[in-house]
Amino acid sequence: MNMQTCTRCIMDETDPNIRFDNSGICNHCKKYDELDVPAGKFDDMIKEIKQSGKKKKYDCLIGLSGGVDSSFVAYNAVKAGLSPLAFHLDNGWNTEIGNQNVKNIITKLNIPMETVTLEWDEFKDIQLSFLKASVPDLEIPTDHALQAALHEMANKHGIKYILMGCNTKTESHVPDTWSQGYFDWKYIKSIHDQFGNVPLKTFPHMTLTALNRYSMKHKMINVLNYMDYNKAKAMNIMEKEIGWKYYGGKHYESIYTRFYQGYILPVKFGFDKRKSHFSSLICAGQMTRAQALEELKKPTYPLDLQNEDKQFVIKKFGLTDKEFDGLMKLPNKKFEDYPSSSDILNSSAYRIIIGGLQKCGVM
């Protein structure tokens, strides 16, 4: 199938909403050029957190997965003299490398950590519901639980600042059609109500009202936006200083994420997230377009490991090979096919409120 590809990055028409200008440059690259990030204000941000956290046991909370981004946030927070509490969400899919990275970070940096372990029968039922719903955003349940649990943990310890591992410059080319609904409990619940069987008694979640309330109390800071963040250099530093190890791909510290991004998305939906990841790095000057195109010729990850992951996922979900293949063959659906709060989230009034909170420094 011949598809138009951006002349600057490698995004193409597998994003159905992509647009190109007369030079063949896509809307994602245009949006990248308009990004406004607070690079170079790292010291001011650290000073603000320290000042607010005086006389407190912890001045910030860090979500720690063992991946490069969150690990580098923890590394820099300690180097800057902050007193963080680490938080880890265990959804049952951690790789051994990811677990060891977390252990090395909290041990060598002397960071206390609290872990929330999702109740497996509930979480499995939610994940299976999303597979049955046949939508591409299969990691939404984990992302939502993480956000809700982070806010609950911040409340528990009276912490205002939550430090996140997002980096706008290296995560800029993300099509909405590939994944959306992170904060939308109505969307998640509607899918589970339709396809699930297990009552959700413990699953961390938050309504839009709760999200707004948390946003008034807590300040989410994407620390990596405040520095000249280079992923390759960050990995080298952590490998040398804390024994951190690379796991083979973006978010591949999770078995399910690795299988979802490397197998389910490209096989079922035709989406290769490497195009998004590499395109962001191209615009950030951390990868050339030629390098990215060469990488795309390779499998998303080793085929023997894909097969191993497939059997592991099928067994962990309690499915047969035939049942899993049946789920993969279901007609593809999208976010808009299920009830959600998108009418509220996309309303001009809601955007004005959120914009105001951001200007006031509480989001």
pLDDT at res. 47: 94
CA dihedral 235→237→238→244, nearest 10 degrees, is 60
Cα-flanking dihedrals φ and ψ of residue 269, to 5°?
-110, -15
In tens, the pLDDT along 297-328 reads 999 999 999 999 999 999 999 999 999 999 99
Judge whether residue 36 has pLDDT over 80. no
**13-17, 57-61, 333-337, 359-363: range with lowest mean pLDDT:** 359-363
In tens, the pLDDT along 55-76 reads 899 999 999 998 889 999 999 9
Residue 109 lies inside a defined structural domain of this protein: yes
Cα three-residue angle 126-213-53, rounded to 5 degrees: 105
Residue 4 lies inside a defined structural domain of this protein: no
Residue 281 lies inside a defined structural domain of this protein: yes
pLDDT at res. 37: 75
Residues 276-285: what's their mean pLDDT? 94
pLDDT at res. 362: 38
Confidence grade of residue 166 (pLDDT, cut at 50, 70, 90): confident
Judge whether residue 253 has pLDDT over 90. no
Confidence grade of residue 215 (pLDDT, cut at 50, 70, 90): confident
CATH code, domain with 116: 3.40.50.620
Query: How would you class 226 by CB atoms within 10 Å of its CB: exposed for 0-12, middle for 13-18, buried for 19 or more?
Result: buried
pLDDT at res. 331: 98
Residue 12 lies inside a defined structural domain of this protein: no
Q: How far is the C-alpha of 281 from the C-alpha of 134, rounded, in Å? A: 30
What residues contact residue 132 under an 8 Å CB cut-off, 6+ apart? 195, 327, 330
pLDDT at res. 1: 61
| Two tokens, residue 79 | 């180097």
In tens, the pLDDT along 140-157 reads 999 999 999 999 999 999
pLDDT at res. 55: 85
DSSP bridge pairs for 26: 20
Q: How far is the C-alpha of 45 from the C-alpha of 51, rounded, in Å? A: 10
Sign of CA pseudo-dihedral 172, 178, 182, 184 = positive
HEC readout, the chain: CCCCECCCCCCECCCCCCCECCCCCEHHHHHHHCCCCCCCCHHHHHHHHHHHCCCCCCCEEEECCCCHHHHHHHHHHHHCCCCEEEEEEECCCECHHHHHHHHHHHHHCCCCEEEEECCHHHHHHHHHHHHHHCCCCCCHHHHHHHHHHHHHHHHHHCCCEEEECCCHHHCCCCCCCCCCCCCCHHHHHHHHHHHCCCCCCCCCCCCHHHHHHHHHHCEEEEHHHHCCCCHHHHHHHHHHHHCCCCCCCCCCCEHHHHHHHHHHHHHHHCCCHHHHHHHHHHHCCCCCHHHHHHHHCCCCCCHHHHHHHHHHHHHHHCCCHHHHHHHHCCCCCCHHHCCCCHHHHCCHHHHHHHHHHHHCCCC
Residue 91 lies inside a defined structural domain of this protein: yes
Task: Give the total number of structural domains in the chain.
Answer: 1
Residue 10 lies inside a defined structural domain of this protein: no
| Single pTM value for the model | 0.90
Residue 247 lies inside a defined structural domain of this protein: yes
Are 9 and 31 a contacting pair, CB within 8 Å?
no
Are 313 and 93 a contacting pair, CB within 8 Å?
no
Cα-flanking dihedrals φ and ψ of residue 243, to 5°?
70, 25
Judge whether residue 209 has pLDDT over 80. yes
pLDDT at res. 353: 47
Residue 89 lies inside a defined structural domain of this protein: yes
Domain containing residue 185: 38-359
